[in-house]
Structure formats: structure tokens, C-alpha cells
Structure 1
């Protein structure tokens, strides 16, 4: 059974003491593909080192995370463009809008999101969207940028059924992670109405660990708990979820 983690920050400082052990543990459980989202330029070298250590399993993205959009965001966007020339990437991400922590840079976040969507189109790459307390703002930009050349993943989807359908209408897969196992997560109440062809699995490790690890450091190995919950919701074997979601990830990333 091959499982794909479409969103894991394995380069994070949280794994500095046992990164190789964490990755191998996941591989041993069948998690053979790890897609690695960017945050900002300060993590670029860590990401390249991770890819070098696990060349058969790790696939990198480049991009500027919305919570890291500050006054110097144009310099960061220039770095993203530079890296696209220097290295092979499989998506622009994670990008989007986050109004949970701070609304100060909303305008800058909107510009950065739009610019990176257009950069993805130019380079024929998918996008991976981060959205927190900002569905209206994200959908507004997706509506303007929608088209056959736009596709990707709505990472850590936590919206309503109606918002799920809207995200799918923009050619986005829903990234489903640990939240689906939470008692108050809510998405488990309607995911049985969303066909598996619209879903990919993710962990967002080291964040958002699923039950029974909630509150602890998340790991890619824990994606198995997400897979099992999704199989339960859809009433299908675990293997079917693994095959469908991995095929969906291949459709998105082209590999």
C-alpha cells in the first residue's frame, strides 16, 4: 500500500533531533511520497538538504507562506522566481491568505497570493493554498484567476460542505489531515458526500496531529490514522483510499 503525504514540513526544527528516524518510520508504513511546502527563503537550504537526503521520496514546492508576508514580501517573491529557475519544483505553495493571527498585511497577502498564482500558471505548476479565516478573500482571487491552467490543493481544508464544493469548482483537491479525526472538526460530517477523486491526504506535520496524538508533534507516519478515518467515513477499505488519494496527488503534481 503506497500512501502520499501531500503536505509535510519535514525540514522543520521540530525534527532536528530525529528527522531520519521519523522519515524512515513513515516509509516503513507505506508513506513513500512526501510533498514539502515552503514557508519563506530562510528555509530554502533546509528543504534542499532534505531532498538530497531522501531523493527518491521527497518532492519540493517553493512559495511564500501568507503569515510570512511582511514589508519585504516583494524580495521574497523574487526569491521564489529565482528558485524556479535554479531548481525543479512540483508546486507553488503554500500560498494564500491568513487572517487568524494578523490582518495588518491583508493587502500584501492578496498581492502575494495573486502574483504566485500567476507564477504557477506561467510555469505550468499547481498551487497549494493556505486559508485561515479567509475563505471569502481566497475565493475572490480564485474566481478572478480560475481557468484550465489553474489547479492544485486546498491544504488543510476546514470549511463547510458548500465551501468544499466551491473549492472543487476551482479545480482544487481537498487536503484532508488530522482535523478529520477531531470530535469538533466538523468536516467528518459531510466528507462522505465528497467523492474520493477530490481528496488528497496530508499531515501538515509537525502541526495538527490526529487523534490519538492530538497536542503532540505530528509526523508523516500518523497519516495512517487520517487514512483509516477517511476509509471509515466512506465505508471503503484502507487500500482503496490509499490508491485513490495517491492517484489524485499524481494528477495534481504530475509525478
Structure 2
């Protein structure tokens, strides 16, 4: 799968009739197997961008090119589980054709096997987030969207969930987009880092990270974060791989 995005602008009008520009220059491309991470300040338009990419918002200037029959898996900022359905039923509602072996494998990777008959009200936030991940991967997505999936989690749990996402993505050639405001999340997970300006959002830097996720040590991560800091402190927009 290939995703080509060229959004010249996105705006809306308030109840008073005043125009508010949200996006103003978002152009990038990604292919299956790549993880693209969007990092930007709160309120810059990241969630609006995701709605456009999924086809939920078609009121914008520009073009989006992707396979129309692509299966989309999405993990929202909140788990959004049906409280009257068990963990297993929540996942099966999203992927009714999933077989028992695949579902059991998915629950095993996400350490949910002991919770498949529990209800959302019986789960911690971390477990509920894992169920949301299971639901997204159960559809065997071609296009996976993660909207601040680690928000409000403690650091240790966030790192564990990062590892779980890496494992799941590694087992399937899926095009992934992650939205976050946390540089650690971005550098540990991304193959391409897109830094966004304040609203109206535009891409101010597109940084490629050539080192595989499995071999990114703390020194490598620190170096990339330092480079990001240079861009966010006024660097000019350009595309380049890390270290060049």
C-alpha cells in the first residue's frame, strides 16, 4: 500500500462566521511497512489530519491517494470499548471473521488471555488500551492509525505498550501513522518523523530514521531528539535522513 498526501489547506467557520485555518501545507508519502510519526503542539490540528486521512472529513483543499479497499485499524486517544460487552466480544465486533487461533495469538502477544471474558469496567486503563490495540490489529489492517495511544499512561506501561506495538507491526507489513506530542514515543517507534508547526499546521521537518527500531540505543535516541530540538527551535523545513 502507498499513501500520498497533499493537503493545501483545511479551515472551518465558527458559529460567528469567523474563519479558522487548521492545516496549511501537509505533503508526504508513506509505504507499507513504514511508521510515520507526527509530532506537534497541542491543538495544532493533528486529530483533524487523522480524520482527513481516514476519509471522515472530506472538506479540505488537496488530494489524498490510497487504496480505496484498504482495511483501516484505528486506536483512539480513549479506548472506546462497549461497556456491556466482554473483551473478546469487543474485539470480535470489529473483526467478526477472525478465527480462534488468530485471536488467541493476538491476546497472547498483548497479555490479554486472562482477561478475554472480563468487561471494560473491570480493566485498568492500560489493559483497556491493549484491548483497543487488539481490536485494531484483529481486522488485519493495511493502514493503522494510532492517536496518542500512550496518553495518561505511566512511563513504564507506555514503554511496554511501545514494545507490543513494535512486535505487532513487525509481524505484518502495515502502513502506520502515530500521532503524539511525546518525543520519546516518536523516536522509539518512527521510521519517519514529521514535525508540525502551531496552527495552522504545516510540516516544518521530515526526518528519516534509518536505524531499525530493534537496535536504537539510548545514544541514538538522544541524538535524534537533539536534532528535533534544533528544528523546533527555528530550523528551516527540509527533508533529510538522520545523521546527514
More strand by share: 2
Structures share a fold, TM > 0.5? no
Taking CA–CA contacts closer than 8 Å with sequence separation of 6 or more, which of the two structures ends up with the larger relative contact order? 2
TM-score bracket for this pair, using the shorter chain length: 0.3 to 0.5
User: Which of structures 1 and 2 has the bigger CA Rg?
Assistant: 2
TM-score, normalised via structure 1 length: 0.38
TM score, norm. by length of structure 2:
0.40
Structure number with the higher helix fraction is 1
